[in-house]
Structure 1
């Protein structure tokens, strides 16, 4: 049994989607970041950086914060979605997501959706970077069904961030390979279940 501490964000959804794909039993502990619950001492004991998600694996005694580390741990421990022959390619794209795709898209929707007009410079900077990163992914997916040959934690890491394309000022029709990939993954039952953890905050955008 795994304890999952999470909220309705792309980083949180990465882990709940993987847990659903792995068909592992888990208990959800909602951490409402809109109410500051991530600052409670009991959560900080698991996640000193006061960010969701975090997990406790009761079977192994492992506690982890940071979504990328959690994805690697779960894939390695439970033996799926991290192919041995393409391991470093998966890590390559997972790190791309963690270092660029996620943070830059987060900044894009911070300024474009939640603070429009606050900083024209920031809107331009992060909007352009979002479009550049979507272009990188689109070109990569032109010759591939998934990011690294077969469906992997690289896809699981990137997909929830693409699911907020509207917040980022992105029209997926401008990125046909990303749109095809996005819709195919969105149709997976485990993704649909994992998206709605800890609750049904909104429907999956159609793309």
Structure 2
């Protein structure tokens, strides 16, 4: 039998050895308790830029800026919005903007909650596709639709407008009843521009020697 000391605990004849916790485990436990208030003071006391959420938003914004460097600053007009309705990789950015800022009013799939249904054929403030970007940027309905131009850059406005345009006609089941009036279908997207190859320089004929 082992001669190791035992505790006074005994349950149904089962005894417990009195083995202390390893010193390294005890040290980690004590350090974690001491570290917790320091962590809380650093990250949770409202100092700007320190919270995990703010750091995530900063990293996300930087990533978005890097992505937008590929396309430059977009113009919120009909041809641009229509062009991006056909580009799934950029539509996913517009969808991300929608999920971050629009679902509380328009629902997760655009079916409408407080705000109107975006998946039917009726619109309250839209006559043409470029009006989506105008409404997103400037708001509508005396503030019922808030202004987003002070929180989103123009590329985000264009891409979320393109995403909203693709929701039209999906008629999500259980969506809010139609509001406004039915408008004409969106125009066809512009044809993809073909890359123009630089013309080869034409060599001038050498002058004939006399």
Larger radius of gyration: 2
Superposition TM-score tier, normalisation by shorter sequence: under 0.3
The alignment's TM-score, normalised by the length of structure 2, stands at 0.26
Higher helix share: 1
The alignment's TM-score, normalised by the length of structure 1, stands at 0.27
